[in-house]
A and B are shown apart, each in its own frame.
Chain A
Amino acid sequence: MFTPGFKLFAGLATIGIIGAFVYGLSSGDAGGPDYFGFVDRNAIIGLVSLGWKGNVGSANGFIVLIFMSISAALIGGTAVAFRDADVESVAELGDSASAMPLAQRPTAPSWWPAASAVGLGVLLIGLVMDTKAFWIIGLVLLATVAVEWALTAWADRSTGDAVTNLAVRDRVGASFEIPLLGVALGGVLALSISRMFLWATGNTAVVIAGVLSLVIIAVALLAAFRPQIGRRALGAIIGVVSVVIIGLGILTAVVEPLHGHHGDHGEEDGEQHSALVVLESTVETA
């Protein structure tokens, strides 16, 4: 009737309860024992009422032991309810009692567990830094991992062939991954280009705009010549161009802008006005 798994965890639960009572009684009430040199009425009331009335002495240890017995009872109760999940008892749940269900097979390779560690690391660092962006990025990464992991787990159950399952996963996932990635990449590129324009002066900005336009046209022309240019080659070119633009965006965001400090446009205007006045006065003097 009682399975060995239940006996183990029920034993832990019983030891926890007994330990809690012994600990609460022996750590005692500050007033000391009331009867026979060791019976403490307040402590006994505290134990029986689980700390509601009376005084169990060291409440921390008492509560930890009580919760230990609750947790162990939870696992033990689950174990006995499911007969320790013995394969014979699980087989009775199926259509045919004679067919023993197979144990879990190794899953197909997946990068998402490792990606969850990256998200965790970003989250940890973000939680102690003063900027919110880091831990929000960490949370977004973890949420992404959770969605992709769930999708992969669902696809693993679609057929018995792992290659087919990977294709199913891609088919379903591509419908939202590609648009989202496209938006994200587009947003990052736009942000990088905006940093470049903020860094540049008037003429330099014109040059930058011209170069960027030519690059975009060139990539578009290359794409138009597919399939002579392979998908991988085109992807590599777009990747390199994106990395260069993002890199330049980061660089221009940190270096001193060509036209002076960022944001000091009022003062710059004032200075330019004053410079113009000086020039005009110089010309007039001349």
Chain B
Amino acid sequence: MTLTEIESDVSAPPAVRETMAPAVYQRLPKNILADGVSSGDHKVIGRLWILGSLLFGLFTLVADVLVRIERLNTDSVDLFSQASTFEQWFTLHRVSLVFLFVVPLLIGIAMVMVPLQIGAPSLAFPRAASAALWSWAVAGVIMVVSWAIDGGLINGVPAEGPVGQATQLSMLSFAAVVIALLVASMVIVTTIFTERSQGMSLYNVPLFTWSMLVAAGIWLLSLPVLVSNLMLMWIDARGPSAQGFGGEQYYNQISWVFDQPQVFAFAIPVLGMLGETVPVALRRRLKQYDLAMVAIGLFGALSFGAYAQTFFNPNANTTWLYVVGSIALILPLLAMLGSVALTGAAAGRAPIFSAHLALSAMALVALFTAGAVSTVRVLDSLLAPVVGFANRVVGFIQNVFDGQEGSREGWKFLSDFEGWIGSTFDEIAGTSVGGAMVQLVLIAGLLAGIAGLYYWAPKILGRKLPTSLGLLAGLSILGGGVLSALPDAISGFLDQPEFVAEASQRDGVELLNLISMLGSLGVFAGFGALLLALPAAFFFGADNDDDEDERNPWQGHTLEWLSESPPPPGNFEGPYVVTSEAPLLDDDFVNPYAEGASA
């Protein structure tokens, strides 16, 4: 059909804006609900992702505190009605921490900021992003409710009869949550590939955008395997009596997602945030930009963990790929740190202190600590074969000198050392050492998300967030996170199982659990400080005057700082041409839409 007879009543919008956003956005009624639900503006969609993640985050952190309170007494189950209820809440807390809190928070920030950083008016598929958002929210609510009503994945295959409906609904809704996150990842990847400004190749994209490309790519490659696990469990569960894809507990089949190396995939944006905030604080380009990009890509590749499913291969976490890959994760972190250090040395002065810089640094500290714990977990698989091999070589040499044949124990202390490694570190499999590592990684991801909120608050919210509350939130979350994780790591060596309520009876475990619980309260308090910061910015912050300081309060280097705070629909006055990764530092960069610029 051809259009011939429609009369338009639209009043002519400013001509230059018409190229960047439909005129309908100029005339929308100010209805927050309708605008929010139906909006095609990526900033609105991103804000809703962030809001949803913060609401679920509140629930998640409350669950964390409750679970740790339960473990204060290792003799009995006090807070929850029975041990299985505790395990349900423990696993719900862990699932929601990843898929309802940290990952959606990072996705929300990416949805707002990636188009701004690449100079685009919108995401590649705005309505798909909106559909992903609402599907995630609905499926998330169904998942939490079904988990809470005696569902969840902690139940195993019943002795007879079908699997309960609440459990089946938990499986399906969990799969739907993951599919929604996959659709959002697909939108981010496509946007980064197809909506960049002229002159901006992927070599020149900002590091946060690059880190989101790597993170979304790894999520696209690993999370579908989780969906396949869940679908297999559900199809099995639909039968009159299930075959047993879950064994004693269905959670076992998906536990690889919450184990190394996969869990590190949820912290890839930490490196991107560091790469954004440090150069701005030092007022210069990041040195070895290519090295930083390679480091982020390598970190992403090493964090792919869908192969290490211990349900199908109980020895998966002792193979060379797993061990070497887990330890090698530290290398990209060091490379990133090196790039930052070189930049600092070249700047020749201290960085300008800000909340977002501090938060990015705290996120890196948490990630390094998590890396250390992950290395401890695989030490027996690494050291024991090496020490054993060395001892056999020593024995062989001794045979040569003594003119003997056959196998021979070399030095006794090497044999004793090999035995000690095996007996000490082998027993920490399935203990709370794993939980400590997961906690630290996700704390790192959370801190990176908060750093992003603080850094880009002028664009996301239209005003800066209070620095004091940001520092308080960061210190409390980092301190609380370390305080909650490290005692778990120690109590793992004292036979504290991962998520069993009635746990180890060894001395000291309850004291460690008490410290861990206090740490989780610290994390909760820090999150509360963040929630206070958001309304405080609106009640006590200054109005936006759209001058240069408001557009670019941190003297940032990338394109998002050319837009208003907050940006209107369409983001920019028009398209830009860039020639480097920090266009605002280029001498030859001209903003054609600045006041006084020539046409």
Chain A contacts to B: CB under 8 angstroms: 3-5, 8-9, 11-12, 15-16, 19-20, 22-23, 26-27, 57-58, 60-62, 64-65, 68, 71-72, 75, 79, 84-88, 90, 100, 102-114, 116-118, 120-121, 124-125, 127-129, 149, 153, 158-164, 166-168, 171-172
Contacts and interface: CB of A to CB of B under 8 A. Distances in A.
Interface string B34-48: 110111111000000
Contacts of B218: 12
Contact of A120 (B135, B189, B203): B135
7 contacts: A3-B202, A58-B313, A85-B193, A102-B121, A109-B35, A111-B38, A129-B165
B214 to A, nearest CB: 7
Interface stretch (B23-31, B95-103, B437-445, B533-541): B23-31
B169 interface: yes
A116 B309 contact: no
Contacts of A168: 1, 3, 6
B291 to A, nearest CB: 14
Interface of B: 1, 3, 6, 8-10, 18-25, 28, 34-35, 37-42, 119-124, 126-128, 130-131, 133-135, 137-139, 142, 165, 168-169, 172-173, 176, 189, 193-198, 201-203, 213-214, 217-218, 220-222, 225, 293, 297, 300-301, 304, 306-309, 312-313, 315-316, 319-321, 325, 569-570, 575
B527 to A, nearest CB: 27
Given A104-B123, A108-B40, A61 B138 contact: no
Contacts of A108: 22, 24, 40
Given A162-B22, A162-B24, A163-B24, A12 B41 contact: no
A58 B22 contact: no
A4 to B, nearest CB: 4
A4 B205 CA distance: 11
Given A8-B217, A12-B221, A109-B24, A117 B134 contact: yes
Contacts, number: 225
A161 B195 CA distance: 22
B120 A11 contact: no
Contact of A114 (B24, B130, B306, B321): B130
Main secondary structure of the interface of B (DSSP, over half): helix
B198 A8 contact: no
Contacts of B203: 4
Nearest to B315: A27
Main secondary structure of the interface of A (DSSP, over half): helix
A8 B312 contact: no
A8 B220 CA distance: 14
B193 A79 contact: yes
A273 B575 CA distance: 87
A26 B325 CA distance: 13
A68 B319 contact: no
A22 B1 contact: no
Contacts of B570: 105-106
Contacts of A5: 193, 202
Contact of B22 (A16, A106, A125, A153): A106
B278 to A, nearest CB: 22
Nearest to A9: B217
A65 B132 CA distance: 27
For the complex of A and B, the 7 pairs showing the least CB-CB separation, nearest first, are: A117-B134, A107-B40, A61-B307, A113-B131, A113-B130, A162-B24, A4-B202
Contact of A116 (B134, B297, B307, B325): B134
A60 to B, nearest CB: 4
A26 B316 contact: no
B38 to A, nearest CB: 4
Contacts of A118: 138
A142 to B, nearest CB: 11
A64 B225 contact: yes
A160 B569 CA distance: 16
